[in-house]
Amino acid sequence: MDKNWNKLRQDFPILAEKMNGEPLVYLDNAATSQKPKSVIEAITAFYQKENANIYRGTYALSAKATEAYEGVRQKAADFIGGEASEIVFTKGTTSAINLAAFGYFLRHLKAGDEIALTAAEHHSNLVPWQQVAALTGAKLVFLPLDKKGRVDLKEAEKVMSDRLRLLALAQVNNVLGTEQPVKELAALAKKRGALVLVDGAQAAGHLPVAVKKLGADFYAFSAHKMLGQTGTGVLYGRKELLDQTQPLEFGGEMIREVSKTTATFKPAPQKFEAGSQNVSGVVALGAAIDYLNAIGLDAIKDRETELGQAMAEGLRKAGARVYGQGGGIASFNLPGVHPHDLATALDAQGIAIRAGQHCAQPMMDWLGVKAVARASAAFYNNEADVEALIKGVQAAKEFFNGTR
């Protein structure tokens, strides 16, 4: 695909929209990405040509829909370096982590076992573990972070005991954009007999992912953060672990045989997909993966990092305090201005950023702030967007200082 980034921009119809009378500058990609025409068209084409409920093999249309759905399972597996039988379609990262937490770990952890996390986790990779710990008597331990929010390997080793049974952490942090040394940490955790679950919500679609190389036993990600639809995500699990994972939902399609009092289930991954599935969402995920692969994940990572760095540098020059930058993410505050006020002032100029706690309250405590503003660029943003953000922040600063 053409690496002319500004040309790629034209694939995203929403970027031509106006907000509050100004051209839209969308810099909240870490919350959800925008969608290229090919993804939007794949959804429409599915409903125009292939829609039927899947696994109703008695007619050709259903077979077509099933093929479309199952084809994406292989595509998703190739995307992260797993096998199709290791890919479970879920509603998103949150439901993927909950499936691993309550389907597997709830049944395999016992009192005194340890779960290692970091203070930088999104609530969806924290609260499920709090619940599992409360139900099993397992203990949560937190790996120390360095100034950049990165886990320090030497410090981590001191915290990892022989009772460690699970390391669960985000590959890329959603507030600072920090990429964790997952491969090295996974190796340390495995030495102690632990399994590794990686929250890939901010990584998938932003850098190349290879679950086996990373040492991930479970890997969770959301389609909507990587050009696909909301309500669609993936839990990758090593085959033998998925075999030992209990479904959390029971009903149609996940069963093999049902009598009035008992039921047997299909093998993984079908046993986890009870009821009518989000077929168009999965089809959209397939189109999103095709689009990302055509550009190349290495190129996307470089481009997003370039934009992220430019934002951080410009924000600093504009007088903002930047807490961290990684990939396309930069988090900051304007001294004396609440981030919500800043975001509202930017919105009036058509600039969309996020402000608040970012579903990461322990991370806010770690930063020593109540909330931060976060700008997050995707590869389809450009230098003009970065400039608009900086100018917008500058104008907001003058406004709130009463000099404008």
Interaction of residue 28 with ligand PMP, rule CB under 6 A: no
User: Which positions from 346 through 375 interact with ligand PMP, judged by CB under 6 A?
Assistant: 359
- When binding is defined by CB under 6 A, the residue of 222, 229, 325, 331 that contacts ligand PMP is 222
Interaction of residue 122 with ligand PMP, rule CB under 6 A: yes
Residue written as token pair 């929209």: 17
CA–CA gap between residue 312 and residue 330 (Å, rounded): 6
User: Which positions from 151 through 190 interact with ligand PMP, judged by CB under 6 A?
Assistant: 170, 174
- When binding is defined by CB under 6 A, the residue of 125, 136, 229, 245 that contacts ligand PMP is 125
Of 64 and 91, nearer to ligand PMP (C-beta) is: 91
Rounded least distance, CB 359 to ligand PMP, Å = 6
Could you tell me the strand order of the sheet in which 218-222 lies? Answer: 87-90, 233-237, 218-222, 195-199, 164-170, 114-118, 139-143
362, 99, 333: which is closest to 235 by C-alpha? Answer: 99
Interaction of residue 118 with ligand PMP, rule CB under 6 A: no
Active site residue 359: yes
Of 123 and 391, nearer to ligand PMP (C-beta) is: 123
Interaction of residue 331 with ligand PMP, rule CB under 6 A: no
| Active-site option among 140, 359, 369, 395 | 359
Q: How many other CB atoms sit within 10 Å of the CB of residue 212? A: 11
- When binding is defined by CB under 6 A, the residue of 54, 185, 201, 353 that contacts ligand PMP is 201
Interaction of residue 268 with ligand PMP, rule CB under 6 A: no
Rounded least distance, CB 199 to ligand PMP, Å = 5
CA–CA gap between residue 77 and residue 69 (Å, rounded): 13
- When binding is defined by CB under 6 A, the residue of 33, 34, 93, 280 that contacts ligand PMP is 93
Q: Is residue 362 within a helix (H) or strand (E), and if so which, with residue range?
A: helix 361-367
SS (H, E, C) 207-239: ECCCHHHHCCCEEEEEHHHHCCCCCCEEEEECH
Sign of CA dihedral 257, 259, 265, 270: positive
Give the range of 117-125, 242-250, 296-304, 338-346 binding ligand PMP by CB under 6 A.
117-125
Whether the upstream peptide bond of residue 362 has omega within 30° of 0, thus cis, is no
Catalytic residues: 359
Binding site for ligand PMP (CB under 6 A): 92-94, 122, 124-125, 170, 174, 199, 201-202, 222, 359
